[in-house]
Chain A
């Protein structure tokens, strides 16, 4: 993966952040990833990937009051505009790569 490209887990983690909506904390993100990819994903690697994305400016994090649930501050993650742009570029790249291919699988994996 080049300098501007996204790693597999980076790509998936950003999509998971977008999918979980308000519950954009580490635990829900991990659960979402495991549920949809059907794969064990370690919290450590997700956390490290999210912090790395933050350093690249693709994700932004802040400590937030968890609201009615109570307890200590939780770190929430949002995808930045730059992150959205990268995701769109990646999607476009995949789509054009898949165009005209049929591997016979149900979901085209």
Chain B
């Protein structure tokens, strides 16, 4: 009757400053009793509740300051506390290093992934009001003519501009070999929409989009640094690009990567409506806009669909079908940029979350054991009169110190990891090259680390501190087995770790299988011992076909004369090359509608190409030096073509032609094997090969050299560079690589994802096994007397060993089963990054529990052996 409401009193005891807990509770009791006398119990209870709430509101701040105050008062500064804690930790060797390493691993993995994901998905784009930026016709590209119409008609956007993605151009220098640079053509509104301002000089002006006035360039920051040493004198200098002079008008800010991070230079997109072919024919511009104030992406999309009729009407070349833009999308620029990388990044984020979970539960187990070890010590101290608050604070400080050390080590791991990873990150990953440990990533990681510490360390510490000393002394005195509840907690934690490990091992298994399947695909050509390089011929070479052919023949002889190369061939484009060409073909006797022709992969190659590339001839003949511009036009098709258009029948002697009106028929003279075009995971597409001598290099104007190495491919690549320089140093070379590299690069993202997941899976597996080992070893140590007694009574060592093994496996089996169940949705979510296997792949799902099971047995085996090596006499004598 005379004591305050119990719940509120209890609450009060938690929110008052720790050092005055009893004083304040007593004072409040007195005041409460006074209230009852003056105004009755009901009034008093209401008053009490109100007072407690006053404390609750002040609690967070007062609590921290009072703890800090106490630390300062009682322990004479954090320095002393640190020294004391360090001394205590030294007395328990093993604990601190294991806890810190485990935390560092988890935090390090997390920081690496957070650093990448933050750049790609979370961080706002580095432009003013980034949410207003949208990709119009996301996933499509369109012509400058269409963009002009959109600029005039769309009201939902403030500024709208287009850009072509990285196009290669040859930069000629006075005294150095020509080199390849990538140049984006952007409309001034494109940079305007992004509101990006040059760090030096000026942006494009609208008159610079007029024909003949667009010979100006903006330098990328990195290009400015490497090419002009970051000197302001770069302004107004001229650059010779593809034989034309361009004047430098400014430098774009560091890290500017629109439309692609590959660009070195930006030039204005030239608007020439009088040249219908260029203005309407080249549909290679991506469109970006800044929404008008108050508008939304959805409203812009609706308007886009309405405007398409006007675009069709304005287009002098053809009338696109009315539903051409029905799929039209207006996406926020951020989503558009991260579109292709979201699934792999989310997979990684989930994976690292699991690693963290495992780390968390592992460290929690460590702290639980630690708290148990300390509690005996503390129980004695406490019984001797030490304040329980102080003991709890000491333990809390220990947790904080270990977390801090783990955090620092983890950030170190992350810094090294990110540095090592950066060169391998795919180009299409937004912000990949800027990813690093900046304040933001460190901040996020620190928060995660502190949460980990709270979850892993504070709970056991708090539980330890709250237990009455008598209970500890009792438990310690009993000296046999741990309390049931504590053992349960540890077992649950280890089970959870094993589940997470199963999920990760399964996921990594799925990816490894994908990689294996990809590697098993035969691309249809020889990968090993082949060197390739893209050549960009200088302007001003003779245009006529014969002279051009003579030039290539000469180059071929020059290259083949080098000892490192056995045979050399040229092609306009090659499978897995930097560029590709797809052309519509009419097939005589097969295709009928000129508006519905198949679009096929198309390569122009020199006679020796098939032999050099190792593409097998299945029928007929390959090209020869006699296929010249003045002889009948010939073509070679691949087996896929034969099957698709001739039902597998012999096509030799049939004819196909280009889609233009007066195109001459080209006779099929040979059939070669199918080749993969650029992604091993893509289906083979029917391919047409034409002689370089008859068709020239095409609009790309580039030639790719493919060479068979006599031995080392690197030596062959060096030989190509050297001989090309000797031959004509105006030829710019880019994309030098062995064929193995080209094919490997096409799998780079999958491989990277696999490696990261394997690292995470191995980490969790290792931690999980340490957990199993820990539990088994601990229980063996606690039951050592029991084993001694049992053996004295005649139990066999095999029986005891079996018992311990069984105990350990009882732990592993439910964890594995739960892990397999959880792995199913995880695998389904990964569907987008898998190839050649079903998400529920029996092999990956079968092997994960096998690996886990055998690791768990191994982890339990050591303690099981120890259990059998007990000498009953020694054990019993101890009592």
When the two chains form their complex, are residues B54 and A72 in contact, meaning their CB atoms are under 8 A apart? no
Would you list 12 pairs from A and B whose C-beta atoms are within 8 A, ordered by A residue? A26-B23, A27-B34, A42-B51, A42-B54, A43-B24, A43-B27, A43-B55, A44-B58, A45-B58, A48-B58, A63-B23, A75-B20
Which one of B23, B31, B50 contacts A74 once the chains associate, using CB atoms below 8 Å? B23
* Given A48-B58, A48-B62, A75-B20, A43 contacting B26 (CB threshold 8 A): no
6 shortest interchain CB distances as A-B pairs: A44-B54, A42-B54, A26-B27, A27-B27, A27-B30, A44-B55
B28 on interface, CB distance cutoff 8 Å? yes
* Given A27-B30, A27-B34, A31-B31, A73 contacting B58 (CB threshold 8 A): no
**Within residues 1 to 59 of chain A, which ones have a CB less than 8 A from any CB in chain B?**
25-27, 30-31, 42-45, 47-48, 51
A108 on interface, CB distance cutoff 8 Å? no
Contact surface of A with B, Cβ cutoff 8 Å: 25-27, 30-31, 42-45, 47-48, 51, 63, 71-75
Encoded as 1 (CB less than 8 Å from any A CB) or 0, chain B from 14 to 49 comes to: 000100101110111011001000000000000000
When the two chains form their complex, are residues A43 and B28 in contact, meaning their CB atoms are under 8 A apart? yes
* Given A48-B58, A48-B62, A43 contacting B23 (CB threshold 8 A): no
Encoded as 1 (CB less than 8 Å from any A CB) or 0, chain B from 46 to 81 comes to: 000011001101100010000000000000000000
Chain B residues with Cβ under 8 A from A48's Cβ? 58, 62
Which one of B22, B34, B55, B58 contacts A31 once the chains associate, using CB atoms below 8 Å? B34
When the two chains form their complex, are residues B24 and A26 in contact, meaning their CB atoms are under 8 A apart? yes
Expressed in whole angstroms, the Cα–Cα distance for A51 and B58 within the complex equals 13
Expressed in whole angstroms, the Cα–Cα distance for A51 and B30 within the complex equals 20
Which one of A27, A51, A63, A75 contacts B31 once the chains associate, using CB atoms below 8 Å? A27
When the two chains form their complex, are residues B26 and A72 in contact, meaning their CB atoms are under 8 A apart? yes
Expressed in whole angstroms, the Cα–Cα distance for A27 and B51 within the complex equals 12
By beta carbon, the residue of chain B nearest A76 is B23
Number of A-B contacts (CB under 8 A): 45
Extra inter-chain contacts (13) besides given A44-B55, A71-B26, A72-B23, CB under 8 Å: A26-B24, A27-B30, A31-B31, A42-B54, A43-B27, A43-B31, A44-B54, A47-B24, A48-B58, A48-B62, A74-B23, A74-B26, A75-B20
Chain A residues with Cβ under 8 A from B58's Cβ? 44-45, 48
By beta carbon, the residue of chain B nearest A73 is B23
By beta carbon, the residue of chain A nearest B47 is A40
Chain A residues with Cβ under 8 A from B57's Cβ? 44
When the two chains form their complex, are residues A75 and B54 in contact, meaning their CB atoms are under 8 A apart? no
Nearest Cβ on chain B to A58's Cβ, whole angstroms: 17
Expressed in whole angstroms, the Cα–Cα distance for A82 and B199 within the complex equals 60
Expressed in whole angstroms, the Cα–Cα distance for A44 and B48 within the complex equals 11
When the two chains form their complex, are residues B23 and A44 in contact, meaning their CB atoms are under 8 A apart? no
Nearest Cβ on chain A to B58's Cβ, whole angstroms: 5
By beta carbon, the residue of chain A nearest B61 is A48
**Within residues 843 to 857 of chain B, which ones have a CB less than 8 A from any CB in chain A?**
none
By beta carbon, the residue of chain A nearest B30 is A27
When the two chains form their complex, are residues B27 and A72 in contact, meaning their CB atoms are under 8 A apart? no
When the two chains form their complex, are residues A75 and B23 in contact, meaning their CB atoms are under 8 A apart? yes
Chain A residues with Cβ under 8 A from B54's Cβ? 42-45
Expressed in whole angstroms, the Cα–Cα distance for A63 and B24 within the complex equals 12
Expressed in whole angstroms, the Cα–Cα distance for A51 and B63 within the complex equals 13
Expressed in whole angstroms, the Cα–Cα distance for A98 and B54 within the complex equals 35
By beta carbon, the residue of chain A nearest B52 is A44
Nearest Cβ on chain B to A74's Cβ, whole angstroms: 6
Encoded as 1 (CB less than 8 Å from any A CB) or 0, chain B from 82 to 106 comes to: 0000000000000000000000000
Which one of B22, B27, B51 contacts A25 once the chains associate, using CB atoms below 8 Å? B27
Chain B residues with Cβ under 8 A from A25's Cβ? 27
When the two chains form their complex, are residues B31 and A30 in contact, meaning their CB atoms are under 8 A apart? yes
Nearest Cβ on chain A to B734's Cβ, whole angstroms: 69
By beta carbon, the residue of chain B nearest A47 is B24
Expressed in whole angstroms, the Cα–Cα distance for A45 and B54 within the complex equals 8
Chain A residues with Cβ under 8 A from B55's Cβ? 43-44
Expressed in whole angstroms, the Cα–Cα distance for A9 and B26 within the complex equals 23
Chain B residues with Cβ under 8 A from A27's Cβ? 27-28, 30-31, 34
Chain B residues with Cβ under 8 A from A45's Cβ? 54, 58
Nearest Cβ on chain B to A56's Cβ, whole angstroms: 14
Nearest Cβ on chain B to A3's Cβ, whole angstroms: 19
Chain B residues with Cβ under 8 A from A63's Cβ? 23
By beta carbon, the residue of chain A nearest B25 is A72
Expressed in whole angstroms, the Cα–Cα distance for A26 and B34 within the complex equals 13
Which residue, A25, A27, A43, A51, has most C-beta atoms of chain B within 10 A? A43
